[in-house]
Amino acid sequence: MLRNLKAAKRSEGSQGTTDSYSCNMESSQSKRSASFSEQTSQPLSEKDMEELQSTLPPDKKLKAGREYIWNRKSKRKAEYWKYYLEYVENGKLRAECKFCPKTFAADGNLNGSKNVKNHAESCLGNPINIEKEKGKEKQTKLYFDQEHESSELKCGSRIINLNDVREALIHMIIVDELPFKHVEKSGFRHFVQVACPQFHIPSRVTIARDCLKLYYSEKEKLREMFKTCQRISVTTDTWTSIQRINYMCLTAHFIDNDWKLNKKIINFCPISSHKGEAIGKAVEACLEYWGIDDKLFTVTVDNASSNDVACAHLSRMVRRTGCINDGKNLHVRCIAHIINLIVWDGIREHGVCIDRVRNAVKYVKNSPARILRFKDLVQKANIDSKSSLSFDVPTRWNSTYIMLETALKFRRVFSGLSLPDGEDLNDNERPPEPEDWEKVERLVLFLGGFYLLTKRISGSHYVTANKGLGEIASMYDMLNNWEQSEDLNFQAMAIAMKKKFDKYWGDVDKMNKFIYVALLLDPHSKMVIVELTLTDMHGPEKGTKLANDVKEFAYSLFEEYRKMYATSNIPDCGDNMSMDIDNSKGVGSDYVRKLKERAKRLKGTSGYAISELDRYLNDQLGPEEEEQDALTWWGKNGQRYVILNRMARDILAIPLSTVASESAFSTGGRTLDPFRSSLTPKMVQALLCTQDWLRAKEVPIVDVEENLKELEEIEKEVQRGESNDVDDEVVFVDSLV
């Protein structure tokens, strides 16, 4: 009985405690609600809103219509609450991050603060977390590398930095010309989830923003590089995109202090028209923007008349800003373009046989069934060739050469096909006849030398200026030999090409004189090769006279450089005088000093410059130096020629073709394809320029033709059952990936 009474009392006590707790909760909530109503019943004044806005980052704005609460003396004691704005929504207290759009329930009696705290420590918009991020996101992971010649696995550790992963993703998007939406594709997301589950894939909007940030970052690095370079030669060309927007590409070429040739696209911007004045003004504006308008050395363009007007405009600009030789040698004509004009004048006589082969190739490639039939005939004929039939671009003779060379290998196969024929066809639309194939065979032999010549002078990652005169002389020699051919057709072709050759290169005054000096500055050639080349092209008498003119121009140019770059570290001219004068003190020292002064007056101020240039021309190369290219030699021996090395750095960087700018249009065509035609011109420039700056010299641009050859070989291996990793049925490979 007593035990029951005590239990009843305890029950009454606990019930009273529960009732009391409930009352306190209700009271607390009612007070909290009351405080909300008191704070929100009177909206913040404009002054309070301005003061609240001042606590936010510059890019963060208060949202209109939101009922913010601002307690200057907040009761929140945790440090992370200073990164949040409190507001009321539907009668409930919430917190908004000051650095991103995320919000959280923030009623201390109803919600915990764990989410608020975790977000404050991980928000990427918070400047406090930027310094912590690198250390926090580094994780050491185990990995296993398999030895190449064994099945053993090598265990090691690697630090994974998620920031590096994100930078690598941006690098891949730009260099591989991928669309921004690539990061939202299911296949890519699956790959990342397997390869690096910790990495959070950004959206395509974030990717676009990161690409622009990388563009501006790399641009500042290039701007700093331009401050240390000497003179800059540029190439430019124009292009019309799929958006029907005219673009101009401007590429800078220069040799840095380490004697490395640099090629950088510095502008890929819209232009009002293809007229020369518009091109000239656009180039001038770009050079001024980069701060290199006073460093322009040469401009390489094709033979369009508008480019003559543009170069005239730029010549006036460099005369204002300062230039070498008063800008008289600013304009450099694209050698590859001139070769294109010369060759087309020659092969025009063989238009019928070329058209017939082109139509035959087009007939085969226009139908999958015909391609299969063609491949069957190739196998039956036992033709061992990895080449694939290719179309040509009528305005590019080298592509026509490749088409003819490839088709010639399959001439027996074409005879086994039922090519269209009939009286209703034109003469150039009929199937190739045996006589046509014989002409094509001789034409391929004839054009092979020009094709290799064009490839050699079209490079942009190696010096071409010192090869120009030699390649031109080589072409002249080929034309002379073909003029003596017994084949009247090819003799006539050589004569027509020789006529076009003389129009552009028949006289030394028709060529930019820097091309001659570039060969002189090649340590493997010097003046001897220049004189022999001119003698072979123009005969002994005229060649010798032209060689003397080139030498005189080189000396005058060197004198100009000496006046520009003469410094105190140049040895005294007396050190290089031909007479051997005793400088010792004693009897006759006054007489010796007077002799030296007279010698200086005789030689003039250019005494040292002339002696230094003569010393270079007379120096012989050692066995090891014979194996070095021009830039390597100058990098190791430039200190011996204080002024001459500055002259060589400018002249050897001159590009002889506009291929560097034209190749950017191929990239532009892939970037602005029908699925990405909505890209703005600013974004197009950012993508193309950044790709050019990031792409290493060792990474070649994808050659679709070579890729197709590799794919065909893979298909053959699969068909022969030599591949154990794939099925023997059908393999589909995207040649552009």
Query: For residue 596, what pLDDT is reported?
Result: 62
Distance CA 364, CA 373 (A): 9
Domain stop point among 135, 152, 177:
135
β-strand partners of 85 = 96
Q: Is residue 45 part of a domain?
A: no
Looking at the fold, whether 525 and 449 belong to one and the same domain comes out as no
Query: For residue 519, what pLDDT is reported?
Result: 92
What is the token pair recorded at 193?
Answer: 């989830």
Distance CA 123, CA 586 (A): 83
What is the token pair recorded at 581?
Answer: 């004068």
pLDDT digits (tens, 9 = 90+) for 203-259: 989 999 999 999 999 999 999 999 988 999 999 988 777 667 888 889 999 999 899
Looking at the fold, whether 527 and 636 belong to one and the same domain comes out as yes
β-strand partners of 237 = 249
Question: Percentage of residues in the chain with pLDDT exceeding 90?
Answer: 17
pLDDT digits (tens, 9 = 90+) for 71-89: 655 667 688 888 888 888 8
Query: For residue 720, what pLDDT is reported?
Result: 58
Query: For residue 678, what pLDDT is reported?
Result: 65
Q: Is residue 407 part of a domain?
A: yes
Q: CA angle 726-728-734, nearest 5°?
A: 60
Distance CA 408, CA 401 (A): 11
Question: How many residues are recorded in the chain?
Answer: 737
Out of 2-11, 211-220, 521-530, 554-563, which region has the weakest mean confidence (pLDDT)?
Answer: 2-11
What is the token pair recorded at 716?
Answer: 């053959």
Q: Is residue 263 part of a domain?
A: yes
pLDDT digits (tens, 9 = 90+) for 723-732: 444 443 333 3
Distance CA 239, CA 246 (A): 6
Looking at the fold, whether 384 and 312 belong to one and the same domain comes out as no
Give Cα separations from 129 to 65, 79, 121 (angstroms). Answer: 30, 14, 7
Q: Is residue 30 part of a domain?
A: no
Neighbours of 343 (CB within 10 A): 23
Q: Is residue 25 part of a domain?
A: no
| Cβ–Cβ under 8 Å, residues 413 and 383 | yes
> Helix, strand, coil: what percent of the chain each, to 5?
60, 10, 30
Looking at the fold, whether 364 and 407 belong to one and the same domain comes out as yes
| Cβ–Cβ under 8 Å, residues 357 and 407 | yes
Query: Torsions phi, psi of 423, nearest 5?
Result: -70, -20
Distance CA 33, CA 39 (A): 10
Looking at the fold, whether 264 and 325 belong to one and the same domain comes out as yes
Q: What is the CATH number of the domain that holds 218?
A: 3.30.420
The number of domains in the chain is: 4
Query: For residue 239, what pLDDT is reported?
Result: 76
| Cβ–Cβ under 8 Å, residues 57 and 68 | no
Out of 20-34, 296-310, 345-359, which region has the weakest mean confidence (pLDDT)?
Answer: 20-34
Query: For residue 432, what pLDDT is reported?
Result: 86
Query: For residue 721, what pLDDT is reported?
Result: 55
Question: Percentage of residues in the chain with pLDDT exceeding 70?
Answer: 75
Looking at the fold, whether 278 and 363 belong to one and the same domain comes out as no
Looking at the fold, whether 429 and 489 belong to one and the same domain comes out as no
Looking at the fold, whether 227 and 265 belong to one and the same domain comes out as yes
Looking at the fold, whether 406 and 482 belong to one and the same domain comes out as no
Out of 277-291, 318-332, 439-453, 687-701, which region has the weakest mean confidence (pLDDT)?
Answer: 687-701
Q: Tell me the mean pLDDT in the region 487-511.
A: 82
In which band, very low, low, confident or very high, does the pLDDT at 402 lie, cut at 50, 70 and 90?
confident
Helices (H), 42-154: 46-53, 114-122, 127-136
Distance CA 466, CA 457 (A): 10
The residues near 43 (Cβ < 8 Å, ≥ 6 apart) are 67
The residues near 551 (Cβ < 8 Å, ≥ 6 apart) are 520, 527
pLDDT digits (tens, 9 = 90+) for 106-130: 887 777 788 888 888 888 778 777 6
Q: Is residue 275 part of a domain?
A: yes
The enclosing H or E element of 686 equals helix 681-694
Distance CA 288, CA 294 (A): 8
Looking at the fold, whether 554 and 544 belong to one and the same domain comes out as yes
| Cβ–Cβ under 8 Å, residues 368 and 321 | no
Amino acid letter, residue 229: C
How would DSSP label each residue in 102-114? Answer: -EEE--TTTS-SH
Q: What is the mean pLDDT of the chain?
A: 77
Model pTM score: 0.68
Query: For residue 288, what pLDDT is reported?
Result: 92
Distance CA 125, CA 128 (A): 9
| Cβ–Cβ under 8 Å, residues 475 and 450 | yes
Looking at the fold, whether 329 and 380 belong to one and the same domain comes out as no
pLDDT digits (tens, 9 = 90+) for 427-457: 778 888 888 888 888 888 888 888 888 888 8
Domain stop point among 458, 477, 509:
458
Going by the DSSP 8-state scheme, the letter that residue 734 receives in this structure is -
pLDDT digits (tens, 9 = 90+) for 561-600: 988 887 534 443 333 333 333 444 444 566 666 666 665 5
Q: Tell me the mean pLDDT in the region 536-543.
A: 88
Looking at the fold, whether 448 and 551 belong to one and the same domain comes out as no
Domain stop point among 607, 635, 656:
656
Kind of pairing, strands 138-146 and 103-105?
A: unpaired
> Which residue is associated with the tokens 């009528």?
394
Q: Is residue 403 part of a domain?
A: yes
Give Cα separations from 270 to 116, 245, 308, 672, 689 (angstroms). Answer: 48, 7, 20, 14, 14
Q: Is residue 708 part of a domain?
A: no
Distance CA 141, CA 121 (A): 24
Query: For residue 566, what pLDDT is reported?
Result: 74
Q: Tell me the mean pLDDT in the region 281-295.
A: 92
Best mean pLDDT range from 307-311, 700-704, 720-724: 307-311
Distance CA 173, CA 203 (A): 13
In which band, very low, low, confident or very high, does the pLDDT at 421 lie, cut at 50, 70 and 90?
confident
Query: Torsions phi, psi of 61, nearest 5?
Result: -125, 150
Rg over alpha carbons for the chain, rounded to the nearest Å, is 38
- Residue 524: give the domain boundaries: 465-566+616-656
Helix (H, G, I), strand (E, B) or coil at 501: helix
Helix (H, G, I), strand (E, B) or coil at 729: coil
Query: For residue 282, what pLDDT is reported?
Result: 92
pLDDT: is 643 or 737 the higher one? 643
What is the token pair recorded at 680?
Answer: 């703005």
Buried/exposed 633-666: b ≥16 CB within 10 Å, e otherwise: bbbebbeebbbbbbbbbbbbbbbbbbbbbbbbbe
> Which residue is associated with the tokens 């990405």?
676
What is the token pair recorded at 39?
Answer: 């704070």
